[in-house]
Structure formats: C-alpha cells, structure tokens
Amino acid sequence: MPDDHSQPVDVLAVDEAVTRSTGSEGFGITDTGFVAKPYARLLAEKLATAQLVLGEGLDLTGGSVIRKLLEVCALEDARTWAALAAWYDDSFAVSATGSALDRLGVELGLPRPWEEAVGEVTLTLTATLPADVAVITIPRGARLLTAGGHHAALEETVAMSNASRQRIAAVRAFYPGPEHNLDPGNPTQKLDRWHPDDPSLAALVALEQTLGSAPIAIGHTLPLTGGELRWPDARYRDLVLRAPRSLWRADALELAVSLVPGVRQVTVRDSWGGLDLSEAVFGGFRFLERLFTTERDVASPFFVSVLVAPTPAALWDGPDGLRAAIEAEIEDLRPISIFPRIERVDEVGIGIAGAVTVEGLPLPSGTSDVVNASSLARALKVRLLGRVRRYVEALRFGEPVRWAEILHALMDEPGVADVTDLRLLRYPPGPEALELPAVPALGAPQVHALGENVVLSPTQVAVFVDDDARLRVR
C-alpha cells in the first residue's frame, strides 16, 4: 500500500496527463484576455480524470451515477469560470459593463451622464397664412420654453400651411437629467412658448408681426420621459476611454466641452503644443538643425482654439448661449496664462435629391404628385431622411460626405428597391456663417454630379438639411 507521500505525486501526474490530453492549457489569463473554460471542456476533463484514477472500465455512460455527479460538478465549475471572466473583464474600461464601468468612470471623475427626456407636442396653425406665405416652416432644433425656464427643442422639421394646420412633433429636452421630465400638469413645466432669441425662428417672428398675433399654438399634454435614464454602456465607454489622465492637456478641455449641452463635436487646436504641420519648412529640413517654428513671445498671451460644432437646438450667443456655457465650463481647467478662443465651426448644409423606387408598400395610384403627397410616402421620406441625418451628424470636422454612404443608408430602408439619380446638394454658408442658425437657410444649392462626394475643409462640418422636396417616391 503506498505511503502518504506518494499520493500527491500521483495526483499531479494525473493532472498533467489530463491537461495534455484535453488541451486545457489555453484557458485563463492569456495574451488576448481571459478565456473561460466552457462546460463541455470541463466535463471532458472530469471524465478523463475519472478514467485515469478509477480505471478504463469505469461506467461513464449517460445513465451512470458517477457521470451525473461529474456533470453537476462541471456545471458549477463553468459558473465559477464565467464569474472569473466577468470579474476580469470588469477590471478594464474596454470590456467593463454596468456598475463596473460606472466605478471606473467615477475614478476618473466622470460619472455616467443622464439622457435627455423626450416627448411630443401638438403644433396648431391658429391663423390664416397670407397669400404670399404658402408654407411656414419651423426647423429641427427650434427651442421651446416653459414658464419655469425649462428648455426643449423640436426633433424634426415641421411645415404647416392653410391646408395642413396641425402637426404632432417630437421634442427633446435640451438639458439632460430627470428634472427635465416635464409634466404639463405642472404649470411651470408646460411647454407653451418659443424661445425669443432663437434665430431659427426668424420667419415665425416675422409672420407674427405681420398677423399681429402668434400664428402657431403649442399644445403640450403628455409628459416628457427618459431623463431618468443614463447613457448606454457603449457611449459611456467611449467617454471613459477618451478621458485624459492629466488636467493640463488639450484633451481635458476637449472632453469637458464635449459634455456641455448643445455641443455636437469639439476639437482643441494647440499649435504650440505639438508639431506645426502647416509650416512651409515642415518635412524639408534636417532634424536638430532647424526649429519647426519660432519661439514663443513670453510677453504675449497664449491662446488655444476651441473649435465647436453646435447641435441644431443650441443658441450660440447671449448670456445663456453655448459660447458662455463653454467659457464657464473650462474656466477652471485652463492652465494659468493660457486663454481659450471659442470658435464656431463653419456649417455646410447637406441635402439629397433623387428618385426612390419602392416595393411592397401600398402607395396610392395616380400621378407622381399624388403619390408623394400621400401619408405613406411622407412617412417613408421621414425614415429615409432620418437615416441620412444619422450618418451626416456622425461625421467629424473636415470629413467628406460620401455619396456611397448616402446610397447605402437609403437602400438599407425596408421596402426600398432602387435609388436612381441620387445627387448630393451643398448649401454653402456665406460670409456671415457664424451668425446663421445651426441649420442653414434653404436656397439654391450646389448640385453635385452623380457619384460625387462633398469635400469639406478642416474648419467645416456637415449639417443635414431636413428637406424632402427634391426626393421623389415612385
């Protein structure tokens, strides 16, 4: 009978044999992360160990008691491996989820932000439009107010006429958080007026002066909801990964500005903080023999440029405008003697024109005008424009608007069989672009050739023009 000292050697030998025969050494912490053992692998190891220890004649068929015991043990081990994998993944921002990702963000001083509440209002044309005004259009992003000072904005462009006098429009709270779940039962939280300083409402203000009374009434009967929700993991993870680990960097300013309500995109340009690629001598000299640029004049103030692309609902100027909010946000972040220069990016309007052929949708028969005036065609156009808008609004500064991406977005809509004569429209901003509302005024656009992209400069950003007049359904 073997003594007590020989037993551990036998166990280690069995373990080595099982590991070699089942290929189980590739699990646990590896070069690519934590790889958990699946249930099938764990059961195979236990069956192999049982046969080595108890002999090849051991009954391990499906109905045997020993196999059932091994299956129960393997199941519990699989749960342990899954818990270890989750614990390992939750230790890193790239893979953490839920509360674990929250804790990593809090360590960086970035708690998970709130979502904006959403809802709807009913807009009613209460007056008869003059003969020279066929349609009154309220653009997406137009700001609404409550008596208590809450802000919201239209989520879609609304066009009203004497023939179409009422529209239900989606709205979104401008500021995030549960305190903006506006309840119309509370008089101070009822959306019932337009923002008096919103430049995108210039046409509405002019019409009100002509008529002598407010031409469009705002009906708010259902509360806004969703402000109590937090950002989803994917969006929050991107924020945590972008967070700088030092305050004295341009990245810290950029991150802080990106969280200001009304900011769509932002970039901080610091020519003194890195290589000045715009210098004519860059790339044409030997290193250590010449400087990239001249030395800084220490007697002059040093500025960094904060280039901002606002959302359609943002108001740029004024005491409660976006510029003032950004300046207040970064006042305590900027280094001493470093002054940020807040600049608004040039916004280039992007529209589309073309013909959409559909299949499977019960469109009415008749002329093209009859088909496009139907509710089904209008609803289809809204969905198509929404797809294009999501693509355009995700573009970065200077990134071109690609014709192929627009075509792909349109063809992805269920029921669309073909898109022909698709052309991109460009609404170039004028010299007064910085004073224009976020959505450029519609005019005669530049029509690009079939298949041609819209190329932008590094100080420009694409803004989708929510106009379906040139998109035809057939």
Contact 18, 49 (CB under 8 A): yes
CA 450 to CA 162: how far, in whole Å? 37
CA 82 to CA 449: how far, in whole Å? 55
Give yes or no: residues 267 and 364 share one domain.
Answer: no
Residue of 211, 25, 222 whose CA lies nearest to 131: 211
Among residues 292, 318, 344, the one where a domain terminates is: 344
Residue 330: partners with Cβ closer than 8 Å, 6 or more residues away: 253, 256, 257, 306, 340
Contacts of the segment 362-371: beta carbons below 8 A, 24+ positions apart: 363/473, 368/472, 368/474, 371/473, 371/474
CA 433 to CA 410: how far, in whole Å? 29
Tell me, yes or no, whether 467 lies in a domain. yes
Tell me, yes or no, whether 94 lies in a domain. no
Give yes or no: residues 160 and 267 share one domain.
Answer: no
pLDDT tens digits, the chain, 474 residues: what are they?
444 444 443 656 666 666 665 555 678 888 778 888 889 888 888 888 888 778 778 888 888 898 999 999 999 999 999 999 999 989 999 999 999 999 999 998 899 999 999 999 999 999 899 988 889 999 999 999 999 999 999 999 999 999 989 999 999 999 999 999 999 999 999 999 999 999 999 999 999 998 888 899 999 999 999 999 999 999 999 999 988 876 667 788 889 999 999 999 999 887 644 444 445 555 555 555 555 555 555 556 677 889 999 999 999 998 889 999 999 998 888 777 778 889 999 999 999 999 999 998 888 888 888 898 898 999 999 999 999 999 999 999 999 999 999 999 999 999 999 999 999 999 864 333 333 344 444 557 889 999 999 999 988 999 999 888 899 998
CA torsion sign for 275, 277, 283, 285 is negative
- CB contact burial 120-143 (16+ within 10 A = b; e otherwise): ebebebebebeeebeebbbbbbbb
Contact 352, 413 (CB under 8 A): no
Tell me, yes or no, whether 112 lies in a domain. no
CA 111 to CA 101: how far, in whole Å? 10
Tell me, yes or no, whether 123 lies in a domain. yes
Residue 146 identity (one-letter amino acid):
T
If phi over 0 gives left and psi between -120 and 50 gives alpha, with beta otherwise, what is residue 158? beta
Give the CATH number for residue 255: 3.30.70
- Domain carrying residue 140: 118-219
Give yes or no: residues 79 and 123 share one domain.
Answer: no
Give yes or no: residues 352 and 460 share one domain.
Answer: yes
pLDDT of residue 293: 53
Tell me, yes or no, whether 232 lies in a domain. no
Give yes or no: residues 338 and 372 share one domain.
Answer: no
Tell me, yes or no, whether 109 lies in a domain. no
Contact 85, 34 (CB under 8 A): yes
Tell me, yes or no, whether 424 lies in a domain. yes
Site of tokens 């921002």: 93
For 357, phi then psi, to 5°, come to -100, 130
Give yes or no: residues 390 and 291 share one domain.
Answer: no
Among residues 219, 252, 276, the one where a domain terminates is: 219
pLDDT of residue 380: 93
Q: Number of folded domains in the chain? A: 4
Q: Per the structure block, which two tokens stand in for 347?
A: 């916004």
Contacts of the segment 441-444: beta carbons below 8 A, 24+ positions apart: 442/349, 442/467
Among residues 322, 344, 366, the one where a domain terminates is: 344
Give yes or no: residues 426 and 452 share one domain.
Answer: yes
Adjacent-strand bridge partners of 137 = 159
Residue 98 identity (one-letter amino acid):
G
Give yes or no: residues 465 and 359 share one domain.
Answer: yes
Give yes or no: residues 337 and 350 share one domain.
Answer: no
Give yes or no: residues 285 and 355 share one domain.
Answer: no
Give yes or no: residues 124 and 134 share one domain.
Answer: yes
CA 93 to CA 241: how far, in whole Å? 7
Burial of 153 (0-12, 13-18, 19+ CB in 10 A): buried
Instruction: Tell me how crowded residue 276 is: count the other CB atoms within 10 A of its CB.
Output: 14
Give yes or no: residues 326 and 363 share one domain.
Answer: no
